[in-house]
Amino acid sequence: MTTMIDVDGSSATATPPSPQHPLSSLTAAEIESVRAVVQALPETTEWTRFAYVGLEEPPKGEVLGWERGELPLPERKARVQLLDLRSARSTDLVLSIGSGAVLRETVLDGTAGQLPILDAEFEEVGVIANADERWVAALAARGLTVDDVVLVPLSAGHYGYPAEEKRRILRTFAFQQFSPTDHPWAHPVDGLTAYIDVADRAVIEIIDTPGFEIPQTSGNFDDPELQGSPLTGLMPIQITQPEGSSFTVDGEEVSWGEWKLRISFDAREGLILRQLSFAGRPVLYRGSISEMIVPYADPAPNRFWQNYFDTGEYLFGRYTNELELGCDCVGDITYLDAVLADELGAPRVVRNGVCMHEEDFGTLWKHSDLFTGSSEVRRQRRLVISFFTTVGNYDYGFFWYLYLDGTIECEAKLTGILFTSAYPGAEEDGSPYPFASEVAPGLGAPYHQHLFSARLDMTVDGVANVVNEIDAVRLPISETNPYGNAFTKSVTPIASEKQSGRVADGAVNRVWQIASTEKATSLGQPTSYVLFPTETPTLMADPDASVSARAAFATKNLFVTKYDPAERYAAGDFVNQHPGGGGIPQFIEGDEPLIGEDVVLWHTFGLTHFPRNEDWPVMPMDYAKFTLKPYNFFERNPTLNVPAPASAHCAPGHGAHHHAEQDVHDHSGPAVPGHHGAHGHEAHGGHAARSHG
């Protein structure tokens, strides 16, 4: 049962959606049922932990057939991944929620990746390392005891070390902490790393490179003394919608303007947008962040292995923030709770995990006509659906924006604290250290990237689509172009999967068009959407590097595959300690044809970060995004019907161009169906509030 919280704090009972949709998020009751099934399995022990519990989604054809009334409601299934903390036995199950039957069981042998890392394993790293005499001695050589430091557990990657084969390995750095309120990121104990087998509870190797001083600068950004006197002169900004928001939420179904969609939440991918349609026409069947990689550039003996798959190794959806009105979110806000499973398999509710709200977004269209005297303006607005997750030192917000004109955007927002090192000083020739920035005295911040893979399961006017690469083309002076002013475009269909690896190129205005092969406008143009990338570097590591094999998706800005319900994650199902070649390389191996097919786009976007002083001790927000925009999807501007602004000054034909516009651009926010509040948003995503859980 979902409780909806209105702005006045009263509560009301919400009727659960009926009939149940096959793509609905797992409920608390379903998670309890899954737990009961697992507890009854003969392999389950007191050390069994739930690494992942999520919906095993029915194939698209079954869902669409059920919606047309041609097929029965698909069976509800759950995917469950189990780890025995002592034996390291790892299993991947698919269960029938209705019957409790185990429909599929795979036992991992560790050669093709491991299950994601559990919090229970993270918590053991400090205990294991601090009990090792070699580790204690290495700290003592630096004038430290185990009580002086905190340890940061980190994924190990894969480097072909025989001692790590088929073992669950974590690596750890130490950071000095002077008091419980001191932020240890300011004091890296550099040159010291422990490699730990968390199942055997043993340190298998220590890398000890002496000679680094521990930085003594302060990183206490929350200390009033470091903050200085509060900035004065900032007048209040109030964002109000006196008549409430313009969208409605029924369970996980959202309606806003011409848009209809479903939203759900997953422990691995976080917020998922489903079955987006505009004016009753399908556009996007499923959109999510299927993977992300944070590769670091420092080749030092203690740091070369640093690269983190925050989705596949850590399951960043688990670390979704509980958002607070007036702090994270400002305005007329609808929150949604996220229901997940904890590591004992019990339901866990992330209160206000997803945020939904509307934002004014400036001018939608405007013209003051020279001949007729007509002067009209319309305001753009967008629906924001978002969530925030904290993975160690970084905080990520993922914001999906829907616009009145049919545009879709996805924006990643990055803040938090830099992962730090000791700055080694200048090179022998006097040049600065080439792989890190010095952001405070003696404190380094290694260069790194944040690369996200958006999985975009497109259905532009149906499931028969083609992806075209469109480039601007400069034409030379010729008989047909005597003055040299002409330019045109080239349109290249991506015919098969192995041809699909493409790189953005701003010099030719490269975009990728997802076009229907069955539907056309009255002028004969295929109806389509266009993916506008942001041209930034792809993976900077050498093509032969370990991380390049493991994060092959990040070596290009685009891959296209034929829809397969088993292909959900860009780096494969089991990313942790995978040797490489999973995910996209496997998906395109069959080189399926792509023209007129049900296509999935895998789009890499992100940032390459050379840290600056202004990023310390806490980073101002940085941004990375992409846009999907209708292209001949409509016969004309689809926003001609948007009402004129209510202000009498902006009435049609009354010289609105003489009056100042107020453009409000608050770009932030998360959600799963949840809770409602007013006054407050930096946008986030989850479940809806008027609260649905």
* Rounded distance between C-alpha atoms, residue 545 and residue 159, angstroms: 9
Distance from chain centroid for Cα 418: 19
pLDDT single digits (tens) 531-566: 999 999 999 999 999 999 999 999 999 999 999 999
- What is the fold, at CATH topology level, of the domain defined by 15-104? Nuclear Transport Factor 2; Chain: A, (3.10.450)
Angle at 27 between CA 346 and CA 563, to 5 degrees: 110
3-class SS of residue 153: strand
Percentage of the chain exceeding pLDDT 70: 91
pLDDT single digits (tens) 165-196: 999 999 999 999 999 999 999 999 999 999 99
Q: What is the pLDDT of residue 370?
A: 96
Question: For the chain, where do the domains classified as CATH 3.10.450.40 start and end?
Answer: 15-104, 119-227
Please classify residue 647 by burial: count the beta carbons closer than 10 Å to its beta carbon, then call 0-12 exposed, 13-18 middle and 19+ buried.
Answer: exposed
**Start-to-end C-alpha separation, the chain:** 8
Q: Tell me phi and psi for residue 31, to 5 degrees.
A: -65, -40
pLDDT single digits (tens) 235-265: 998 889 999 999 999 999 999 999 999 999 9
Please classify residue 350 by burial: count the beta carbons closer than 10 Å to its beta carbon, then call 0-12 exposed, 13-18 middle and 19+ buried.
Answer: buried
C-alpha dist (Å) from residue 325 to 144, 355, 391, 461: 42, 10, 22, 38
The strand ranges marked E within 257-346 are: 259-266, 270-278, 281-295, 307-308, 333-341
* Confidence label for 5 from pLDDT (cuts 50, 70 and 90): very low
Provide mean pLDDT across the span 393-418: 98
Q: What is the pLDDT of residue 649?
A: 66
178, 614, 320, 183: CA torsion to nearest 10:
0
Q: What is the pLDDT of residue 425?
A: 75
Q: What is the pLDDT of residue 327?
A: 84
* Rounded distance between C-alpha atoms, residue 9 and residue 676, angstroms: 9
Mean pLDDT in the chain? Answer: 91
Q: How many CB atoms lie within 10 A of CB 20?
A: 12
* Confidence label for 326 from pLDDT (cuts 50, 70 and 90): confident
Q: What is the pLDDT of residue 652?
A: 63
pLDDT single digits (tens) 481-512: 999 999 999 999 999 999 999 999 999 999 99
Q: Provide the annotated active-site residues.
A: 310, 394
HEC string of 14-75?
ECCCCCCCCCCCCCHHHHHHHHHHHHCCCCCCCCEEEEEEEECCCCHHHHHHHHCCCCCCCC
Q: What is the pLDDT of residue 388?
A: 98
Tell me the sheet residues that pair with 13: 3
Q: Which of the two residues, 659 and 86, has the higher pLDDT score? A: 86
Task: Pick one of 2.60.120.380, 3.40.190.80, 3.30.70.360, 3.10.450.40 as the CATH number of 119-227.
Answer: 3.10.450.40
DSSP calls for 388-428: EEEETTEEEEEEEEEETTS-EEEEEEEEE-PPPEE-----T
AA identity, residue 452? F
Peptide bond into 116 cis (omega under 30): no
* Rounded distance between C-alpha atoms, residue 598 and residue 269, angstroms: 22
Residues whose CB falls within 8 Å of the CB of residue 525, separated by 6 or more in sequence, listed in order: 632
AA identity, residue 455? R
410, 415, 420, 424: CA torsion to nearest 10:
80
* Confidence label for 20 from pLDDT (cuts 50, 70 and 90): confident
Q: Which two tokens stand for residue 603?
A: 């789009």
Provide mean pLDDT across the span 389-396: 97
Q: What is the pLDDT of residue 329?
A: 83
Please classify residue 613 by burial: count the beta carbons closer than 10 Å to its beta carbon, then call 0-12 exposed, 13-18 middle and 19+ buried.
Answer: exposed
Q: Tell me phi and psi for residue 195, to 5 degrees.
A: -100, 125
Provide mean pLDDT across the span 133-146: 98
**Alpha-carbon torsion 143, 618, 310, 43, what sign?**
positive
* Rounded distance between C-alpha atoms, residue 451 and residue 158, angstroms: 19
DSSP calls for 325-379: BTTTB-SSEEEEEEEEE-TTS-EEEEEEEEEEEEEEEEEEEEEE-TTT--EEEEE
Q: Which two tokens stand for residue 447?
A: 């260069």
* Confidence label for 651 from pLDDT (cuts 50, 70 and 90): low
Residue 412: name the closest of 389, 392, 393, 446 by CA: 389
How many Cα neighbours within 13 Å face the side chain of 73?
A: 10
* Confidence label for 322 from pLDDT (cuts 50, 70 and 90): very high
Q: Which of the two residues, 680 and 369, has the higher pLDDT score? A: 369
Provide mean pLDDT across the span 113-121: 98
The structure tokens 């003051």 sit at 368
C-alpha dist (Å) from residue 295 to 80, 299, 310, 431, 608: 29, 11, 11, 24, 10
